[in-house]
Structure 1
């Protein structure tokens, strides 16, 4: 049977690239996804992050929005579930600041694990507890405990109440709304005439 509308021709392709359409747009030159995103993030200079630990002040975490707290609760539950078999120690977290060794008094030196003594020439010699001499005490920084600048739970509302009463004044009592005392009106009793 013959073709109805004539001979069918193949379209001529002048270039092989025309067969596949326009090339895709170039990909943006972004950083590739990391295989260690948490380690990468924690490697920066962040508050509460040291070489081995991440500390979240509880009062700050509990003051975050409800969705944030719910997400963190889920993540911590997964973390504790994954590591439930470990024998967890108790951790003592002490707020600390960095200080130069030469700026510390004897009590702070002892807390940091150092002692100071005078040598035969009258110069101060700083030593570790092991007795090893510190070669450059002026450029040696150590951690020394300090007062916690982050208020504990509930202290933020107490601090705001204290500032509302004025500096140096004791906090004012909250006003009480007491309704007026009820008034009982007695009706005069009609005297009966006898």
Structure 2
């Protein structure tokens, strides 16, 4: 068994390969014919496997939860509790409370009631830098770099 595809994905945990239609249509006619022939082969080989009817793909930037600013966290429905619900003891003098709050800053992050690890990566939606395919009329010139 070859591990070429596994190596292509590298160390990522990606489960899908997403390709831009605009870029695919910008390749040479010969390349497109070869690619479509491989896709047909792939479809035939796995015709017996149930597939989802459709998928939704959104351009995004990957961020760690702890690096989100307030606006980004709100956009993703992530709440931040800077002191995990703890407050300074009532007996503590007001002049010491700021110092107490700073010393007990160990934020908790949650989304939909689920606690998130601060190192967890989330997808922050962004504008797609590649233009829409526009019924096949959009063309981006591929570079002439030699194949790897």
TM range (shorter): 0.5 to 0.7
Partner residue of 2:124 out of 144, 153, 174:
144
Per-residue deviation, 1:86: 2.8
1:108: which partner in 2?
72
- Matched-pair contact (CA < 8 Å) for 2:25–2:32: yes
Using a 3 Å threshold, how does the CA distance of structure 1 residues 113 and 79 change in structure 2: closer, same or farther?
farther
Alpha-carbon distance between aligned partners in 2 of 1:131 and 1:55, rounded to the nearest angstrom? 28
1:40: which partner in 2?
7
CA RMSD of aligned residues (A): 3.0
> When you count helix as a share of all residues, which structure comes out higher?
2
Using a 3 Å threshold, how does the CA distance of structure 1 residues 118 and 153 change in structure 2: closer, same or farther?
same
Per-residue deviation, 1:152: 1.1
Per-residue deviation, 1:133: 5.8
Using a 3 Å threshold, how does the CA distance of structure 1 residues 113 and 87 change in structure 2: closer, same or farther?
farther
Confirm or deny that 1:77 pairs with 2:40.
Answer: yes
CA deviation string 1:41-69 (max 9, x = no partner):
33267xxxx52111111110011111110
Question: Which structure's CA Rg is the greater one?
Answer: 1
Alpha-carbon distance between aligned partners in 2 of 1:84 and 1:133, rounded to the nearest angstrom? 37
| SS in structure 2 of the partner of residue 79 of structure 1 | helix
Confirm or deny that 1:53 pairs with 2:33.
Answer: no
Using a 3 Å threshold, how does the CA distance of structure 1 residues 140 and 132 change in structure 2: closer, same or farther?
closer
Query: Which structure carries more relative contact order (alpha carbon 8 Å, separation 6+)?
Result: 2
**Unaligned stretches of 5+ in structure 2?**
88-100, 140-148
Give the 4+ runs in structure 1 shifted more than 3 A.
Answer: 110-113, 154-157
* TM-score when normalising by structure 2: 0.62
